[in-house]
Amino acid sequence: GDSVTQMEGPVTLSEEAFLTINCTYTATGYPSLFWYVQYPGEGLQLLLKATKADDKGSNKGFEATYRKETTSFHLEKGSVQVSDSAVYFCALSGTSYGKLTFGQGTILTVHP
Amino acid sequence: DAGITQSPRHKVTETGTPVTLRCHQTENHRYMYWYRQDPGHGLRLIHYSYGVKDTDKGEVSDGYSVSRSKTEDFLLTLESATSSQTSVYFCAISGMGASASVEQFFGPGTRLTVL
């Protein structure tokens, strides 16, 4: 079945540092890929998505490129802020009815 | 923001008691989902609905049932709660057809503790 693997956390960075959170997936066919973010005490919000190979999703300075050859969708940001502290989830949707398969989540903490 | 509410937001109950969680949407979206969130597991799908009275199981459906008698409401029931069902439960909705590329919108979550 479908699966998503994220890098182990937590990740702790200083403000303005470069961020990478790795995500790899296993799926049949051509899934769509997503990054969701969860701020403390809240539900998940879509951060960005890519629906086909080589697509780049971007939002709020975050980027991720759909790499079919490496089955990866790594999240990057050039300069993180304290307000980026949250839990980040990689997810895929490859079956009918849009059901999402999530990675385990990566906790990001950014210090001033 | 998508109009999704969940109730209750917090609940503490005892083992063996029945519990019903409610998800209510004002978006008239066709698809609704229940997930549970546990440390180290991300979110896992419990059940989903693709229309009124149309539901199906997800990957962790044992011990849970659902009902959808109206477009706007999707109920999750734990017939006899167990401590392993202590979790945070999220409802999500999606409305643009069954396309895999469609975003899901999430509710604020319900924190359930089973003693």
Which of A51, A89, A97 shows the shortest C-beta gap to B42?
Answer: A89
Q: Which pLDDT belongs to residue B76? A: 98
Q: Which pLDDT belongs to residue A112? A: 95
A42 contact B CB<8A: yes
Considering only CA atoms, give the Rg of chain A.
13
The whole-angstrom separation of Cα B32 and Cα B21 is 14
Is the confidence at residue B99, as pLDDT, over 80?
A: no
Q: Which pLDDT belongs to residue A1? A: 83
My answer on whether omega of the bond before A10 falls inside 30° of 0, hence cis, is: yes
Q: How close A43 comes to chain B (CA, Å)?
A: 4
Are A51 and A92 within 8 A, CB to CB? no
Query: 3-state DSSP call for residue A24?
Result: strand
Chain A residues whose beta carbon lies within 8 Å of the beta carbon of residue B105? 46
Chain A residues whose beta carbon lies within 8 Å of the beta carbon of residue B108? 42-43
The whole-angstrom separation of Cα B42 and Cα B38 is 6
My answer on whether omega of the bond before B8 falls inside 30° of 0, hence cis, is: yes
Q: What angle do CA A70, B45, A65 make, to 5 degrees?
A: 25
Are A23 and A8 within 8 A, CB to CB? no
Q: Assign residue B63 a region: left if phi > 0, alpha if psi is -120 to 50, beta otherwise?
A: left
Is the confidence at residue B46, as pLDDT, over 80?
A: yes
Is the confidence at residue B114, as pLDDT, over 60?
A: yes
A102 contact B CB<8A: yes
Tell me which of B30 and A47 has the higher pLDDT. Answer: A47
Task: Say yes or no for a CB contact (<8 Å) between A32 and B100.
Answer: yes
The whole-angstrom separation of Cα B19 and Cα A52 is 41
Digit-by-digit pLDDT tens for chain A (112 residues) are 889 999 878 999 999 999 999 999 999 888 899 999 999 888 999 999 998 899 999 999 999 999 999 999 999 999 999 999 999 999 998 766 778 899 999 999 999 9
